[in-house]
Structure 1
Amino acid sequence: MENILNNSFFTLIAYVGVISLYLLVVPLLLFYWMNNRWNDMGKFERLGIYGLVFLFFPGLILFSPFLNLRLKGSNKG
């Protein structure tokens, strides 16, 4: 059992898992949440979202060129 825990392969897998959660999974979920709830958020929910944006800023920067969070207009005009 001690040999498995000291194996560098499992350490590498753990690093890849944590980095993928930090840079890929949580920022995409955060973008999805913001896109769906932006106009309906209360003040404490918005404060929590702002804190998560600050915490996961590097992952959000990675996806920001590809995602559009602008409001959908009424197609009039």
Structure 2
Amino acid sequence: MANEVFNSSLFVIGTYLFLGTLYLVFIPLGLYFWMNTRWNYMGKIERLLIYSLVFLFFPGLILFAPFLNLRMNGQGDV
């Protein structure tokens, strides 16, 4: 009986860690990559979808914002 509760608790903790890591790390990094590669070529529907995903995964995006520089290659030194 105690072994079932322990295994069940470990399963729940593992599931929370997996979903939290997915929500805070992997999906936001995928969004950053997608936005960086497709920014100038997105259509209306794709941009709407990306904006809604940014709203949904905002906490993870904020975690990586200080470390990523996604400025467009533009004029260089002016």
Provide the TM-score with structure 2 as the length reference: 0.87
Residues 76 and 7 of structure 1, relative CA distance in 2, 3 Å threshold: closer
Root-mean-square deviation over aligned CA pairs: 1.9
> How do residues 50-65 of structure 1 correspond to structure 2 at under 5 angstroms?
50-65=51-66
Aligned to 1:22: 23
Query: Identity rate of aligned residues, in percent?
Result: 58
> How do residues 1-77 of structure 1 correspond to structure 2 at under 5 angstroms?
3=4, 7-75=8-76, 77=78
Alignment size in residue pairs: 75
Provide the TM-score with structure 1 as the length reference: 0.88
Extract unaligned runs of 5+ from structure 2: none
Letter of the aligned partner of 1:46 in structure 2? R
Q: Runs of 4 or more off by more than 4 Å in structure 1?
A: 74-77
